[in-house]
Amino acid sequence: MIYIGNHVSVSKGYLAMGKHELSLGGNTFAFFPRNPRGGKSKTVSDEDVSALRQFVADNDFGKLVVHGAYTMNICAAKEEVRANSREMLRDDLLRLQALSGNFYNFHPGCHVGQGTETAVSQIAGALAEVINEVEELSNTPLQNRILLETMAGKGSEVGSSFEELKEIIEQTVSLAGEAVRPKLGVCLDTCHVWDAGYDIKNDLDGVLEKFDSIIGLDNLCAVHLNDSKNDCGSHKDRHEKLGLGIIGADALKNVVLHPLLKNRPFILETPNDDSGYKAEIQTVKDWMNELIFER
């Protein structure tokens, strides 16, 4: 089964997102629970959330990949920004308790001159604390798995190497205990890993092997499927439409069809409008059908 979808807007509510994605041919999607640049999240009714849950179940959707705001930086140098970001994270996770069984991915953050080591411990500290608070406030275990996104390494971004992501996970576990381990995972962004210097075009197997030996492929829970405008190792983070970038269609097709990435939700974050997304979703489905036909 292939789960493919794109980012949709939350502005018309939760059920509306499911319906919209279905109209584009997708069977998973991503959304920002609040304005992607930060700000207040939309107030949602419990009925709307349950209606979406029913809708995705009825239509055999894969897990959804909710995206934390870009402005959230839990390892910011400024205490005030860190505190606000932590609050945003807690608020998102708390709100999403009702939409259980899905993923919540976010960018680990930018260390803004503090250095990676300090940032990693701030991120782990925030995660451990926020998970604990969410569970206490909602009186239930965390309902959605939190995914750290692989980053391109633009500016002072943390999380552009598998080792850094592993370190965040391990430090969170050492603060919050082993019980937190299955609550954490990674979302692999194809544009970002490529820009960070992992050559998924010429050595996808090698990159996945490396991921497996450092983080473990069980923890690779979702994929952001993007082409890149720049070269491997460029640290730029500029997404391109599938097949129009430097990674190219063949390499992205190999990612989608890789047996070790089976059943993961693939989310398009390509520069497209609805008709563009519809076409890319169809392209990905065609790749899948070709594979079935070849067998």
* Contact pattern for Fe ion over residues 180 through 199, marking x by CB under 5 A: ---------x----------
**241 binding Fe ion? (CB under 5 A):** no
- Residue closer to Zn ion, measured from CB, 149 or 167: 149
Which structure tokens are listed for 207?
Answer: 């990159």
Q: Distance between CA atoms of 192 and 225, rounded to whole angstroms?
A: 10
**157 binding Fe ion? (CB under 5 A):** no
Contact call for residues 241 and 280 (beta carbons, < 8 A): yes
- Which helix (H) or strand (E) segment holds residue 253: the answer is helix 249-257
Minimum distance from residue 121 beta carbon to Zn ion (Å): 22
Q: What is the number of other CB atoms lying within 10 angstroms of the CB of residue 184?
A: 23
Minimum distance from residue 32 beta carbon to Zn ion (Å): 10
**67 binding Fe ion? (CB under 5 A):** no
Minimum distance from residue 241 beta carbon to Fe ion (Å): 14
Question: What percentage of the chain's residues is helix, strand, coil (to nearest 5)?
Answer: 50, 15, 35
Q: Which of residues 252-291 bind Zn ion (CB under 5 A)?
A: none
Contact call for residues 27 and 227 (beta carbons, < 8 A): no
Give the interface size with Zn ion as a residue count (CB under 5 A): 1
DSSP letters along 3-71, please? EEEEB---TT-HHHHHHHHHHHT-S--B--SB-TTSSPBPP--HHHHHHHHHHHHHTT----EEE--TT
Partner from Zn ion, Fe ion, none contacting 129, C-beta within 5 to 8 A by type: none
Partner from Zn ion, Fe ion, none contacting 264, C-beta within 5 to 8 A by type: none
Minimum distance from residue 243 beta carbon to Fe ion (Å): 18
Contact call for residues 213 and 242 (beta carbons, < 8 A): no
- Residue closer to Fe ion, measured from CB, 124 or 186: 186
- Residue closer to Zn ion, measured from CB, 237 or 280: 237
* Contact pattern for Zn ion over residues 130 through 149, marking x by CB under 5 A: -------------------x
Options 92, 164, 237, 280; binder of Fe ion; rule CB under 5 A: 237
- Residue closer to Zn ion, measured from CB, 53 or 239: 239
| Phi then psi dihedrals of residue 173, to 5 deg | -65, -40
Burial grade of 157 (CB within 10 A; 0-12, 13-18, 19 or more): buried
**240 binding Fe ion? (CB under 5 A):** no
- Residue closer to Fe ion, measured from CB, 170 or 269: 269
Residue with nearest beta carbon to Zn ion: 149
Q: Distance between CA atoms of 17 and 13, rounded to whole angstroms?
A: 7
Minimum distance from residue 104 beta carbon to Zn ion (Å): 12
* Contact pattern for Fe ion over residues 259 through 288, marking x by CB under 5 A: ----------x-------------------
Minimum distance from residue 259 beta carbon to Zn ion (Å): 25
Only segment of 52-60, 89-97, 111-119, 223-231 that touches Fe ion (CB under 5 A): 223-231
Q: Distance between CA atoms of 291 and 213, rounded to whole angstroms?
A: 28
Q: Distance between CA atoms of 195 and 201, rounded to whole angstroms?
A: 12
Burial grade of 285 (CB within 10 A; 0-12, 13-18, 19 or more): middle
Interface with Zn ion by CB under 5 A: which residues?
Answer: 149
Interface with Fe ion by CB under 5 A: which residues?
Answer: 189, 224, 237, 269
